[in-house]
Amino acid sequence: MSEILISPGRVTGETRVQGAKNSVLPVMAAALLVRGEVVLRGCPALADVDSAVHILRHLGCAVRREADTLCIDASGISDYAIPDDLMRRMRSSVIFLGAILARTGQARMTYPGGCELGPRPIDMHLDALRRLGAHIDEEGGRIFARAESLRGAEIPLRFPSVGATENALIAACAAEGTTTIRNAAREPEIADLVRFLRAVGCRVTGENTAVLTVEGGMPSHGTQYRVIADRIAAGTYLCAAAATGGSVLLHDVETAHLATLCGALTEAGCEIGMEERRISLRAPEKLRAPGMIVTRPYPGFPTDLQAPLMAALLRIDGSAVFDETIFRDRYRHAAELAKMGADIVCEGSRAIVCGVPALHGARVTATDLRGGAALVIAALSAGGDSVIAEAEHIDRGYEDITGVFARLGVRVQRIGGT
Ligand code: EPU
């Protein structure tokens, strides 16, 4: 258990943005396909990345970390099962399924089950792998997949799931023949995975579109690769500046990936400047309500920024409406924000935020990664100090949060736990 103490203040200054967690994790899984060394740059120091390193080492890979670089050599892979504690630590470990199966002919793990965002089905992941020729048994919360060989297939996804697209892509690279993934996710992290796969010799086309084509069975080789910047971490820091009447300049950002958030923040009254790989934001004293925020698959508004933006809008004039269409249970932060004086009514997929004149410091609990980030933002804009318990959720996605906020002129201090 870890706790952080937050003193309110204006978020003002400059910082660089970490590499994207949600790119690094699938690329680490894809590194299992490669017989040779993969040198991966831009890997943030995060609990989830550490969990992925544990998984690779458990499977028999050699993994070395030097600053933000991970050197992965999967030549010596000797296991095909992910231990239960690693599955529990990071439910998105399921993105290793296709890669382990493709490389070893079998894979065993526990079902990810429900999590803090609601039920976490993986039916599309399993359907994609079955279409590629895998036999998958599900029994007592366990998954056992095996395939003597994989063959190219048509994979239509009923929803553009990020994880299912990643699993299908990685496994298809090892299959004989052509695979077409339809209604594929178009998140920037998918395009990043495609670029990595091409860098190791796989033939994949169609990134940034809904149809991905893979010519499988190509021999792969080692490479050096740098993952893209984390658009969600960048968006969170923009929301923190917006919430506190601050002014920030972020370096090493992919500006195009933040278009919908910047649209909403501009409507709320912020001035935003974009130049190559840099983004600046200057916030007014008081934000106004933007139009309705509806979370959608990319290029729509990202579900991962719903909570941070909500936290930025708690003191607006008037009210803001959110519609969360991606995850069923992603408003758990609302009850914690209410402890600081926020007025939020949640009804099904909708949440209505009625602006309040001021927030007060409180003792709150992080419910999940992005919900935890929302609590940090609200605490920075409150009238007194706050303590956030179970801050380990936040550490899963934000590298050196105390250091980043120190560079941005505010105090986020660790006061207990690990
Ligand atoms: N879904 C199914 N069946 C499946 C797969 C998904 O019904 O087989 C549903 C999910 O329950 C959810 C929706 O489809 O309602 C979208 O899920 P998706 O598979 O796209 O999400 P994911 O791959 O599990 C990734 C990110 C999440 C991010 C979502 C949406 C990683 C490691 N995780 O999750 O990031 O919210 O895409 O963009 O890439 C975070 O970073 O905090 C985080 C939760």
Distance from the alpha carbon of residue 285 to the mean position of ligand 1, in angstroms: 35
Ligand 1 shell residues, CB under 6 Å:
22, 25, 92, 120-125, 159, 161-164, 187, 303-304, 326-327, 369-370, 397
In the prediction, which pLDDT does 118 show? 67
In the prediction, which pLDDT does 407 show? 96
Helix (H, G, I), strand (E, B) or coil at 140: coil
As annotated, the active-site residues are: 115
Closest protein CA for atom 44 of ligand 1: 304
In the prediction, which pLDDT does 113 show? 58
In the prediction, which pLDDT does 218 show? 78
DSSP code of 210? S
| First-to-last C-alpha distance (Å) of the chain | 7
CA distance 382 to 106: 52
Identity of the amino acid at 385 = D
Closest protein CA for atom 23 of ligand 1: 163
Closest protein CA for atom 5 of ligand 1: 122
Ligand 1 binding pocket mutation candidate from 136, 326, 349 (most atoms within 8 A of CB): 326
In the prediction, which pLDDT does 115 show? 62
**Mean pLDDT, 10 residues at a time, over the chain (418 residues)?**
94 97 97 96 95 96 96 96 89 92 95 68 95 93 93 98 97 97 98 98 96 91 97 98 98 96 98 96 97 97 98 96 93 97 97 97 96 98 97 94 96 82
Distance from the alpha carbon of residue 168 to the mean position of ligand 1, in angstroms: 14
Q: What share of the chain is helix, strand, coil (3-state, %, to 5)?
A: 35, 25, 40
Distance from the alpha carbon of residue 341 to the mean position of ligand 1, in angstroms: 30
In the prediction, which pLDDT does 417 show? 61
pTM for this one?
0.97
Distance from the alpha carbon of residue 162 to the mean position of ligand 1, in angstroms: 6
321 CB burial (10 A radius; 0-12, 13-18, 19+): middle
In the prediction, which pLDDT does 139 show? 86
Closest protein CA for atom 19 of ligand 1: 161
Distance from the alpha carbon of residue 276 to the mean position of ligand 1, in angstroms: 29
Closest protein CA for atom 28 of ligand 1: 304
- Which among 164, 167, 142, 170 has a CA at the least distance from the CA of 81? 142
Report yes or no: 283 and 246 within 8 Å, Cβ to Cβ: yes
